[in-house]
Amino acid sequence: MILPADMLGTVVHGDDGMGNTNPPPPKGKVITQSAAEFIVEMAHSYPHEITLVPVGPLTNIALALLLDPQIAGLIKEIIIMGGAVSTPGNISPVAEANIYHDPHAADIVMAADWPVTLVGLDVTHKTIINTAFQQELFKADNPTVTLIQRILPCYQNFFNEFYGLGGDIYTHDPSAIACAIDPSLFQTRSAPVYVETQGRCIGQTIADWKRQWGDRPDVNICVDVNSEGVLALIKECLTK
C-alpha cells in the first residue's frame, strides 16, 4: 500500500494529530508572532541557552534564520529528528518524512554555521518500543502515560500495516529528546550534510564524508545508539 505524501500525516497521527483522541482545546492563548519571529526573539533574549529539538519539517527554523541570520551564533544547538544517511528512507527509497516535507528548509538549516545534530532513521529504527515495554509503562497510570495509551493505537496501526511490527513501534521523536537529555547514548560522526531539493531523490540527506563538495559546516550525525539506555531514559522520564 502506497499513500500520497500529503496523506501520511493523518494516517500516522490521526486527523487531529493526537491519534483521533480529540482532546479539549488548549487553555493557553495564541501569540501574535509567527513561529519564526518567536524563535528569533527567544534567541536574542536567551543567547547560547536555547536548544531547538524539531520533530517535524524545518520550515520555521529556516524562516527564522532567513529573518535574522545572526541567530546562527546565538542558538546553543539544534537536535533534529530527521534524515536517513546510511539507511533507506521511510517516505521514499532515500528520504525520511520530516526532511522530505520541506527539503529546501532542511538544506538551509544544514548549511548554516551553528551546532546541528541529526537523529535520523539510522538510529531511530534501532530502538524499538515493543508491546511488553508499553504494558510496563502503562502501569504508571499517570496522566501523561494515560494520554500516550489512548494515542498509541493509531500510531501502532500505521506501523502494523506498513512494517508488520505487530504492535511494536520505532522510537523516532523520543530519540531526539533522549539525545538532548543524554547525548552520551548516541555515537556520532561529523560531516557536512546536503539535502536534495529536486527530482526523484528529493529529501535525501547526503553526508559528504570525504568533504568533496565544498566548504560547509559539519553536522553531528548519529550513527549508532545505546537502545537499552534510551528506553530506560524514556521510562524514567514518563514514570517518575
Identity of the amino acid at 77: E
Is residue 5 pLDDT above 70, yes or no? Answer: no
| Catalytic status, residue 172 | yes
Q: Which is catalytic among the residues 13, 48, 104, 172?
A: 172
Describe the crossing of helices 143-163 and 131-138 by its angle, rounded to 10 degrees. Answer: 170
Tell me the average pLDDT of the chain.
94
Q: Please state, in angstroms and rounded to a whole number, the distance separating the CA atoms of residues 37 and 39.
A: 5
pLDDT in tens, 83-137: 999 999 999 999 999 999 999 999 999 999 999 999 999 999 999 999 999 999 9
Q: Please state, in angstroms and rounded to a whole number, the distance separating the CA atoms of residues 97 and 65.
A: 22
Alpha-carbon Rg for the chain, nearest whole angstrom, is: 18
CB 57 within 8 A of CB 5: no
* Domains along the chain with CATH numbers: 32-127+171-239 (3.90.245.10)
pLDDT in tens, 131-187: 999 999 999 999 999 999 999 999 999 899 888 999 999 999 999 999 999 999 999
